[in-house]
Amino acid sequence: MFEVKTIALFIITALAEIIGCYLPYLWLKEDKSILLLIPAAISLALFAWLLTLHPVAAGRVYAAYGGVYVCVALLWLWVVDGVKLTVWDVVGAAVALLGMAIIIFAPKSA
């Protein structure tokens, strides 16, 4: 159960970060409303708060979170931006997830 909760929390954290960065991108590059900066700021604040909910040392969380972020960012690229992923994208995401799993789920010495 710990593993499922940890990965779900990582995914929600990554979505908050990506949304918080994507909305200003829409304003700056796609000529969308400046009002998008309001939900962007909220999303980035949520992202920072979510990082504090992880049950392990902060540095370890940030390192492992990077692996999940890579995968969620690639899914965003595919689903939201409509870019077809390559086999190398998928292999890279698998390697990143393996690294995350090793960092978070490996036995820790006291």
pLDDT tens, residue by residue, 40-75: 999 999 999 998 887 666 777 788 888 989 999 999
Predicted local confidence at residue 36, as pLDDT: 98
Distance of CA 66 to the CA centre of its chain: 7
pLDDT for residue 110 is more than 60? no
Q: Is 69 exposed, middle or buried (0-12, 13-18, 19+ CB in 10 A)?
A: buried
This prediction has a pTM of 0.82
Predicted local confidence at residue 96, as pLDDT: 94
As a whole number, mean pLDDT of residues 91-108 equals 89
Predicted local confidence at residue 7, as pLDDT: 83
